[in-house]
Amino acid sequence: MNRFDYVRAKTVPEAVAAAGQAGTAILAGGTNLLDLMKGNVVQPTRILDITRLPGLSEIEISADGGARIGALVRNSDLARHAKFAGAFPAIAEALLSGASAQLRNAATVAGNLMQRTRCPYFYDPASACNKRSPDAGCDALGGDTRLQAVLGWSEHCIATHPSDFCVPLAAFGAIVEIDGPQGRREVPFDAFHLLPGTTPHRETALEPGELIVGLRLPAEASRFAVHSRYLKIRERTSYAFAVVSAAAGLRLEGTRIVEARLALGGVALKPWRASAAEAALAGREAGQAAFAEAAGLALADARPSGDNGFKIELACRLVIRALQAAAKGTPSRPTALPASLVNLA
Amino acid sequence: MASITPTYVRHGSNIGQPMTRREGVLKVTGAARYAADNHPPGMLHAVMAVSSIARGRVASLDIEAAKRHPGVVEVMTPGNAPALKQHPDEKANPFTFKLDLLQDERVRYVNQPIAVVIAESLEAATEGAILLAPSYETEQACVTLDDGERFVPAAVGVGDEAQAGHGDIEAGLAAAAKRIDVTYETPAQYHNPLEPHAIVAVWDGDRLTLDTPSQGMAMAQMRIAGLFGIAPTDILIRSPFLGGGFGSKGLISGPQVLGIMAAKLVGRPVKLVMRREQMYGPVGHRAPTRQRFRIGAGEDGALTALDHHILTASSRFDDFFEPAGGVSHTLYATPALSTSYEAVRLDTGTPLFMRAPGEASGSVALEGAIDEMAEACGMDPLAFRLKNYAEVEPLSGKPFSSKALRECYAQGAERFGWASRPLEPRSMRDGAGLLTGWGMGTATFPALMFQAEAKAVIRADGSGIVEIGAHDMGQGAWTALAQIAADGLGLDMDALEFRSGSSDLPNGGIAGGSAHTATAGNAVHSATGNVIAQLANLATNDERSPLFGAGNSGVVARNGALWRRDDESRGEPYAAILARAGRTEIEAQGQSGPDAAAQSAYAGHAHGAVFAEVKVDPELGQIRVARLVGAFAAGRIINPRMVESQLLGGMIWGVSFALHEHAIMDRRTGRPMNADLADYHVPVNADIPSVEAILVEEHEAHLNALGIKGVGEIGITGTAGAIANAVWHATGVRVRSMPITLDRLIA
Amino acid sequence: MSNSISLQINGARRELVLDDPRTTLLDLLREHLDLTGAKKGCDRGQCGACTVILDGRRVNSCLTLALSCDGADVLTIEGLAVGDKLHPVQAAFIEHDAFQCGYCTPGQIMSAVGLMLEGHADTDPERIREAMSGNLCRCGAYAGITQAVLDAQARMKRQAAAGEAA
């Protein structure tokens, strides 16, 4: 770890003023930042500790069913917040399926949005990576590609976004609240993370000096509460990143779908909302035919970025499964292994 | 062995009891000191810089940048590394491995140490290593079995033949009613003990004190003594606890020696701890294998031929060839048997013995192939194995010293409920719709013995001391050896002071080959027997003793006293015997080693049977091992609690082998791309919902006085194959390349 | 910014001046305070050997910057037993042979204590396995670990009930 100055912000305006200075990294839970610094992947010269900022640690559920989550709320606190988990069970399930209890206790919700890819070439300072150093090239191309992106990738970057939490946030249309030198603004979740294009080093909509102060979930998102799930395929039973994951929510009238929400994780550099699939599901009978069609639409633009074609078929099947699970109904108590497909009877 | 006179000792009071670990309180309170927990006054921190290329030379290092970093004291490079008395590439025997100790700028694998930064703080040393910013002259590297030229190695493992067998394979295959020809692959794996290799080195003139984890302190002493030109007795190694070894701490590694060199260079105590990501290269790995089986069987399912060909790899500069053929030598009866090897040389660190070296990779492949043969014959996998049960060791024709494998099969199958298994694959589902499969595998591991010494003392107060430089890497040496010692001395455990884990004690041999309890235990048994014999001499030759005239063979040691065998009401406490003789203590040495006569007459192996139930999502391929039952026979069990733990741990390594572990290498650069514990998966708690080990009674009368075989490694064997076979039974898909990942099951 | 911090460690107030802002909570404990119970297995939050309780919840101390802990309450494995009396989780780990090499053990135990402090005690072994999955055990003592946590929970519940009744 390189040497750095450590500063602690006491107020949001103070943090905004400090965050804009070159070489500054924001420290909240630290679970990703310290990992990256230890790996010599990032070398900030200044650490801005925002953990003491007032007013950013609240979870508020409004009367209409919407929610506002302060940026510094810990993942575990949000997941275990009874009212929140009741209104947004797929989000709670996604949170609980991520990382370990220790990491969830430290990691913040805003930090989760800001986490960097797990691409091994990004993590390896000896490899070329356009994210770490613009125009350096991408050594992932033609390398170990088994778990890389199948949607939205470019010749400049084939990495994926590793978050579980962000997948249902995308599906349920969260809004990111940002404060910065130009004042407060809001960004719809789908516009927050950027696809790589020719500028993979630009990862989010945040401008220099801006920081996330909160997340909002609109009231209509809670209307999916009784029919929503997050499912995650991984290569060990727990404490593993998703190979592919899916968040699904349905509003049903009888067996007819009134409205659907669907997003995929592990497939692209951003949590992938499948809007065309959502549209196609509206008005259909909940069942295999509609779900399979939706899965096809969700993955219609997918193409392998290497030795990872299996992820397309896997994602298709997972979408169907997630929609089936959502249709079946949200479990009354969270399953013992959140988001898992191999809960033992 | 001849020196042991069993008349003096009595078994049963401690041996065989499920005692809890004697060091348990230290371990649960954080008081157990592992190497890196030491902090002698004036200590500096050393951090290695390691190569990011697989082959070539270091062209430049920015030593000045590192030195400018506040707190950095020195940078050790080939330019200033202390001279060694022996080149680290010199090989004295097959157990000497070449080490990379900054002798030149050459790079032969990724993560090879290329410099060491020594600093006042760990943070400064760590950053100093990064600031060196090496540049390289890079040559093209070979890192997969398909690279490089094949050759037949002169020997495999440690001195095993690369070609073995009997009978006519081709004739056996020609005569077979059913044949298979299948190829299995196993990946490179890394030991990944949870404790990274660490050393705290303190020089005092030519004397050296080391806190460092070691599975073989005496061998480490010899190696270090040779490198530095000092006497082995001037080197004190303290290794009371290892945070896991699994073979990677069997020999002193390059990074540990670099810590000693760094301390010499700066003239101060130095602590060097490997970073986790550096452990994927310089401290050994399990070599990859590609194993082809050609097997034939008659209409009745009896094998007619078993041909096992292994392709494996060593490093470009040193030799260790994964001896995966050994399991075929011992498990199934066949009129024609052949094992043969080819190898390639890769630009990787040198492979090393990793828990069940050869047996683990050989077993998963052989058990898979045997399962396929059973399938081809339309037979139940257990019935097929019983049909081909080896009554004598297939390769040598020797009788087994003991073999309770039939009982293992029976007890394991009964406990698991194997009898209700349908023959057809993809024929079971659970209530949640998950495909369910049952598979089995046979476990086997040789019963080895190395050489060791021990010392036993009885003190004036009648209490005892037993000393042996043994190694506890979690298998329970602190406890099991003390149980043997207490019984040998006829004392309660609390009247015994048991000293271990330090190189100034008698050489306890190497903790490897599942042989440590047998080796060190028999040395302890010998020493305690000898000291009791001396005590008996004192008493029976002294007319004032109630034991006078009893003769050695007429005395038994129990509860801190000697008793006449012919009249157990007549006895005398040890303290009284010593007091009358005017002795403050009495001591004796003891030895153990392989019994040449027993080894030439018998084949010695532990055996077991493992049964696995897996669940597989039918569309998504997600796998979970729902249940594992193993039944093992391994001679005398000293401490069933710890033996069970060893077996369960081994079985979990089997889960890991079948489903998780593999080194992912970038074929272009040779860099491991999953060199961390987030991406190099080993099982987590949730992967192990149910695992059971049954200890099957087995009387071992030949191999050593205590009748001990080993249990440290056998658990992996059988298990990985059982899981792979269960995955086939669940899905109908034979995955012959480990680990089994979900993408292979969704096609 | 001052490098002075104040920590409550195992019940004792410690005023500390850090030489280096880079020092993690784990390295502070191990290299500066001789509290070497917490172990470094990966230094990247991937193994759990460094688990300590920070303000009532378990965290990976290797990913926690010591400076950011100013004012915090830290409980480590060294602070768990009361004199010679082991914490029920510690006692249960010995009884169920829930460790072999012992290197992951302080982290496992603190994680188990943490899950109870966080209110996630549960009699369903599957939930305990999931809750303990942030702590790798390379020796493979998982069956004993799960049993030990279940057993300790039951013991603590009984003790608490007895305490209330008294």
User: How near does any CA of chain B get to the CA of C158, in Å?
Assistant: 22
pLDDT at C166 over 80: no
Q: What is the pLDDT of residue B6?
A: 31
Tens of pLDDT along B571-609? 999 999 999 999 999 999 999 999 999 999 999 999 999
Inter-CA distances, B149 with A134, A172, B143, B667, Å = 39, 56, 12, 16
Residue A132 lies in a domain: no
The C-alpha atoms of residue B283 and residue B195 are separated, in whole angstroms, by 13
Mean pLDDT rounded to a whole number for chain B: 96
The minimal CB distance from C139 to the residues B32, B474, B685 is found for B474
With respect to residue A141, please indicate whether it lies within any of the assigned structural domains: no
Cβ atoms B163, B341 nearer than 8 A? yes
Residue in C40, C63, C115, C123 to test binding to A, most A beta-carbons within 10 Å: C63
Contact B743, B735 (CB under 8 A): no
Q: In this structure, are residues A326 and A301 in contact, taking their beta carbons and an 8 Å threshold?
A: no
Residue B254: strand, helix, or coil: helix
Among B660, B679, B746, the residue with its CB nearest the CB of A310 is B746
The arithmetic mean of pLDDT across residues A163-189, rounded, is 98
SS3 B737: strand
pLDDT digits (tens, 9 = 90+) for B453-507: 999 999 999 999 999 999 999 999 999 999 999 999 999 999 999 999 999 999 9
Query: What are residue A123's DSSP bridge partners?
Result: none
Q: Are B688 and C138 in contact (CB under 8 A)?
A: no
B243 at the C interface (CB within 8 A)? yes
- Is residue A123 domain-resident? no
How close is the nearest chain B Cα to the Cα of C165, in Å?
30
Q: Is A321 in Cβ contact with B619 (below 8 Å)?
A: yes
CA distance C69 to B718: 48
How far apart, in whole angstroms, are the C-alpha atoms of residue B523 and residue B502?
16
Instruction: Please check whether residue A6 touches C, CB under 8 A.
Output: yes
Residue range A4-15, pLDDT digits in tens? 999 999 999 999
List chains touching A (3+ CB pairs under 8 A): B, C
Using an 8 Å CB-CB cutoff, list chain C residues near B127: 22
Return the pLDDT at B567.
87
* Domain at A20, CATH number: 3.30.43.10
Q: Which of A105, A234, A333 to mutate to test the interface with C (most CBs of C within 10 A)?
A: A105
Best probe of the C interface among A102, A103, A239, A335, by most C CBs < 10 A, is A102
- Chain C CB contacts of A337 under 8 Å are 126, 130
What phi and psi values does residue B698 have, to the nearest 5 degrees?
-150, 130
| Minimum distance, in Å, between the CA of residue C56 and any CA atom of chain A | 10
> Which of B589, B325, B340 lies closest to B454, judged by CA?
B589
Terminal alpha carbon distance of chain B: 59
Percentage of residues in chain B with pLDDT exceeding 90?
95
Pairwise CA distance, residues B158 & B96, whole Å: 11
Question: In terms of Cα–Cα distance, which of B95, B612, B703, B151 is closest to B353?
Answer: B95
State yes or no: pLDDT of B2 exceeds 50.
Answer: no
> In the structure, what pLDDT confidence band is assigned to residue B347 with cuts at 50, 70 and 90?
very high
Q: Is the pLDDT of residue B7 over 50?
A: no
Kindly give, in sequence order, each residue whose CB lies less than 8 Å from that of residue A178, ignoring residues fewer than 6 positions away. A184, A185, A186, A187, A205, A206, A210, A211, A212, A213
**What is the C-alpha separation between B259 and B241, in angstroms, rounded?**
19
Q: With CB atoms and an 8 Å threshold, state whether C44 touches B276.
A: yes
Distance of CA B469 to the CA centre of its chain: 17
Residue A272 covered by a domain: yes
Q: What would the pLDDT profile of B81-106 be if each residue is shown by its tens digit?
A: 999 999 999 998 878 999 999 999 99
Any A CB within 8 A of C55 CB: no
Three-state DSSP class for C29? helix
Q: What is the domain-level CATH number for residue A252?
A: 3.30.390.50
pLDDT of the residue at B244: 98
Q: Which of B442, B412, B354 is nearest to B682 (CA)?
A: B354
Q: What is the pLDDT of residue A265?
A: 98
Q: pLDDT-derived band of residue B552, with 50, 70 and 90 as boundaries?
A: low
Residue range C82-94, pLDDT digits in tens: 999 999 999 999 9
**pLDDT beyond 50 at B10:** no
Query: Which chain A residues touch C45 with a CB distance below 8 Å?
Result: 31, 34-35, 100, 102-103
The residue of B671, B680, B682, B744 whose CB has the most chain A CBs within 10 angstroms, and thus the best one to mutate to test that interface, is B671
What's the per-residue H, E or C state across chain A? CCCCEEEECCCHHHHHHHHCCCCEEEECCCCCHHHHHHCCCCCCCEEEECCCCCCCCCEEECCCCCEEEECCCEHHHHHCCHHHHHHCHHHHHHHHHCCCHHHHHHCEHHHHHHCCCCCHHHHCCCCCCCCCCCCCCCCCCCCCCCCCCCCCCECCECCCCCCCCHHHHHHCCCEEEEECCCCCEEEEHHHHECCCCCCCCCCECCCCCCEEEEEEECHHHHHHHHHEEEEEECCCCCCCCCCEEEEEEEEEECCEEEEEEEEEECCCCCCEECHHHHHHHCCCECCHHHHHHHHHHHCCCCCCCCCCCHHHHHHHHHHHHHHHHHHHCCCCCCCCCCCCCCCCC
Contact call for B246 and C97, based on CB within 8 A: no
What is the mean pLDDT of the segment spanning B343-369?
98
Structure-token pair, residue C78: 């060294």
Q: What angle do CA A57, A63, A67 make, to 5 degrees?
A: 35
Q: Is B601 on the interface with C (CB under 8 A)?
A: no
Stretch A288-316: mean pLDDT, rounded?
Answer: 98
H or E element in which residue B724 lies: helix B719-731
Give the pLDDT of residue B3: 30
- pLDDT tens readout for residues B305-334: 999 999 999 999 999 999 999 999 999 999
Whether residue A271 is contained in a domain is answered as yes
pLDDT tens figures, B127-184: 999 999 999 999 999 999 999 899 999 999 989 999 999 999 999 999 999 999 999 9
Find, among B320, B338, B355, the residue nearest to B157 by Cα. Answer: B320
The answer to whether residue B274 scores a pLDDT higher than 90 is yes
B111 sits in which H/E element:
none
Q: Is residue A256, in this structure, part of any structural domain at all?
A: yes
Cβ proximity of B738 and B657 under 8 Å: yes
**What pLDDT sits at residue B1?**
28
Give CA–CA dist B111/B49, Å, rounded: 8
Under an 8 A CB cutoff, do B33 and C36 touch?
yes
Interface of B with A in 534-563 (CB under 8 A): none
Inform me whether the pLDDT recorded for C1 exceeds 70: no
Other Cβ atoms within 10 Å of A256 Cβ, number: 13
Is B434 in contact with A342 (Cβ distance < 8 A)?
yes
Q: Please report the pLDDT score of residue B566 as a whole number.
A: 86
In the residue annotation, B692 being an active-site residue is answered as: no
Is residue A193 included in any domain, yes or no? no
Q: Which residues of B touch C82 (CB under 8 A)?
A: none
- At residue B8, the pLDDT reads 33
Q: In the predicted model, what is the mean pLDDT of chain A?
A: 97
Percent of chain B with pLDDT over 70: 98
Instruction: Give the pLDDT band of residue B9 (cuts 50, 70, 90).
Output: very low
- Looking at the 3D structure of chain A, how many domains does it have? 2
Q: Do B666 and A321 count as a contact with CB atoms less than 8 A apart? A: no
* Residues facing residue C5 across a β-bridge: C16
Whether the pLDDT of residue B428 is over 80: the answer is yes
Query: What is the pLDDT, as a whole number, of residue C94?
Result: 97
Asked whether the bond before B153 is cis by omega within 30 degrees of 0, the reply is no
User: Which of B572, B661, B700, B713 is labelled catalytic?
Assistant: B713
> Are A102 and C59 a contacting pair at CB < 8 A?
yes
Where in the sequence is the domain holding A238, given as residue range(s)?
225-328
User: Among all residues of chain C, which has the CA nearest to that of A38?
Assistant: C44
Task: Indicate the pairing of strand B585-592 with strand B605-616.
Answer: unpaired
CB contact under 8 A, A2 and B746: no
Domains, in order of start, for chain C:
4-79 (3.10.20.30), 88-165 (1.10.150.120)
Give the residue from chain A lying closest to B133, CA to CA: A126
Q: What is the Cα–Cα distance from B117 to C119, expressed in whole angstroms?
A: 45
Do the domain assignments include residue A48?
yes
CB contact under 8 A, C135 and B123: no
